[in-house]
Amino acid sequence: MKRWPALLLLLLAAPLCAQSSPPAVTPNPAEQQLLQLIPNPLPAGAAAQGGPAFYKPDTLYQYMDGGADIYLYYDLQTLLHQELRAGQVDLTIDVFDMGAPENAFGIYAAERAPWYNFIPVGTEAYKNEGILNFLQGRYYVKLAAFGDGNDSVLEQSARALSAKIGDNGSFPDLVKQLPQTHLKPRSEQYLLKDPLGHPFLRPAYLATYNLDNQESMLLISVAANEGEAQQRLKQLDQHFRESGKSEAAPDLGAGAIRASNSFEGKLIAQTKGRYLVAIFNPVAGAPEILKEAVDRLK
């Protein structure tokens, strides 16, 4: 199987690392909205250790050591950072306002892995030793705690924050419409810019399927309308004609193509309404997944 382009490797964000805090200023309306998500009183008998800090796209590098790019890729709006102490536990809360639920899902999905310990908080949450991260609406919330009793403090704090956010929300509609047969658990991704190195495919949803002891990748590119989706298919067809080969595949459906080149491998693709649907590395069973994906799109 061909290696996926380097963009997918980018979707592993580096750990947070506090560098310096911005000067204290009066919070603007967006920051005030984030402040309202901090429970009052604080859970687990916690007390704030200093005031909150806010970071915007142009100041995020002051807080994140080498990990800011992936948040900027998903159009971070504002980050609220708050440090607390609950008994012997030091707790850090980071609330990322990503501007839209799709963007929040994108960064959350980029940092999760199928083998993590998932728990029912927000839309979805996972925890490991000393950390608990969850997705809810337009927010991606990350908590870190150190000290005796940190596990209880993490869960109490996460549930209190989730309650303040309100509606648990859900995954994006396209994620819920993906074919479930042979789907690799929690492999769904959302790429906001340059999916698989092709700017004309943005934005797009991806998911991995286990077929014939191999992995195939389903991509659904979201265009503004049917005409734009067909134009994207023409661009994809032209790209493969210039870098390898591409031909009509009427056996897959009207307007479908079958293509390949030496660095992206093989693909099959067609359109449905405003969507371009493609499968990379289409092994045995992939045409059926393509057909089901197309049929499920609304």
Please report how many Cα atoms fall inside a 13 Å half-sphere around the Cα of residue 45, on the Cβ side: 7
Distance between CA 14 and CA 111 in Å, rounded? 9
pLDDT digits (tens, 9 = 90+) for 263-287: 999 999 999 999 999 999 999 999 9
The two three-digit tokens of residue 216, written as one number: 């195939």
Provide CATH code, domain 6-165. 3.40.1000
Distance between CA 226 and CA 236 in Å, rounded? 15
Predicted TM-score (pTM) of this structure: 0.89
Q: How confident is the model at residue 116 (pLDDT cuts 50, 70, 90)?
A: very high
Instruction: Over range 163-172, report the average pLDDT.
Output: 94
Q: How confident is the model at residue 236 (pLDDT cuts 50, 70, 90)?
A: very high
Q: Does residue 53 register a pLDDT over 90?
A: yes
- Distance (Å) of CA 71 to CA 79, 106, 126, 141: 10, 10, 19, 13
Phi first, then psi: give them for residue 68, nearest 5 degrees: -75, -30
Q: Does residue 39 register a pLDDT over 60?
A: yes
Residues of the chain with CATH 3.40.1000.20: 173-296
Distance between CA 117 and CA 134 in Å, rounded? 12
Nearest partner of 102 among 214, 192, 40, judged by Cα: 192
Provide CATH code, domain 173-296. 3.40.1000.20
Burial 114-134, CB ≥16 within 10 A → b, else e:
eeeeeeebbbbbbbeeebbbb
The β-bridge partners of 124 are 135
Q: What angle do CA 97, 172, 210 make, to 5 degrees?
A: 120
Q: What is the pLDDT of residue 298?
A: 85
Nearest partner of 253 among 201, 295, 297, 298, judged by Cα: 295
